[in-house]
Amino acid sequence: MNDVLKNIHDRRAVRKYKNMTVPTEIIDILLDAGRMAPSAMNRQPWKFYILTDPKKIHAYSKEIAGIAVKEIKHIGIREAAKLTLSFFHLSTMMSFLKNDDHIFYGVPVVIFITSAIADEWGALDVGMCAQNIMLAAKAMGLDSCPVGFAKYVTQTRDYYQLNISDAEQVQLAVVVGFGDESPKLHERITDNVVYI
């Protein structure tokens, strides 16, 4: 298998990290990889908001966890199960429940990615951008996890500190750091192809 394919196959959502900072030069390389993603009509709609202060990361994480729990209670058990399962593979729920930091997993770097609310392709473009960042991280010996729960950051007391404008929508966060676990592969569904 060539290096690119191996990287794609080896990437995992990692939820345990070493207490090691990531140099700014590496973060810049990851962002450049993100910027190389394709985007509808080449609009490159992504904007990156980066947290590296451990105290701030922990504070946002704690508050988002509280908001997520309230949200889950509010929408009822059936919808909550759907929401939770849309973010998690079932078996990862256990590590979610065990971890002290349920949202950002004690990472040294959180990258919130936004796109313009008015951009109908924003979510898709940001998804491609995020995947580039995660594969670049893997290629550089780092690990990552996409965090959909990060969208609740908009409801936190300190959201204003991120300076995200009202015209933007937080689509996702990608958390990055030096992984301290090697999650096993979640088998992929393969009976989802129709050759015509």
- Which residues of the chain form contacts with ligand FMN (CB under 6 A)? 12-13, 15, 87-89, 92, 145-149, 172, 183, 186
| Residues found in the chain | 196
Nearer of residues 13 and 31 to ligand FMN, judged by Cβ: 13
Structure tokens belonging to residue 41: 């009509």
Q: Which residue, 145 or 162, has its beta carbon nearer to ligand FMN?
A: 145
Amino acid at 99: N
Q: How far is the CB of 106 from ligand FMN (least distance, A)?
A: 12
Return the number of the residue (12 or 112) whose C-beta is nearest ligand FMN.
12
Residue 9 near residue 1 (C-beta atoms within 8 A): yes
DSSP label at residue 22:
-
Taking the least distance from each CB to ligand FMN, the nearer of 166 and 191 is 191
Q: What is the CA 122 to chain-centroid distance, rounded?
A: 15
Cβ(62)–Cβ(121) below 8 Å: no
Smallest gap from residue 135 Cβ to ligand FMN (A): 11
Quote the least distance from Cβ 195 to ligand FMN, whole Å: 25
Residue 126 contacts by C-beta under 8 Å, 6 or more apart in sequence?
Answer: 45, 46, 113, 114, 115, 171, 172
Kindly tell me which of 52 and 95 has the beta carbon lying closer to ligand FMN. Answer: 95
Closest approach, Cβ 127 to ligand FMN, in A, equals 7
- Closest of 161, 155, 133 to residue 56, by C-alpha: 161
Question: Rounded to whole angstroms, how far apart are CA atoms 163 and 81?
Answer: 32
CB of 196 to ligand FMN, least distance (A): 28
* Region of residue 46 (phi > 0: left; psi between -120 and 50: alpha; otherwise: beta): beta
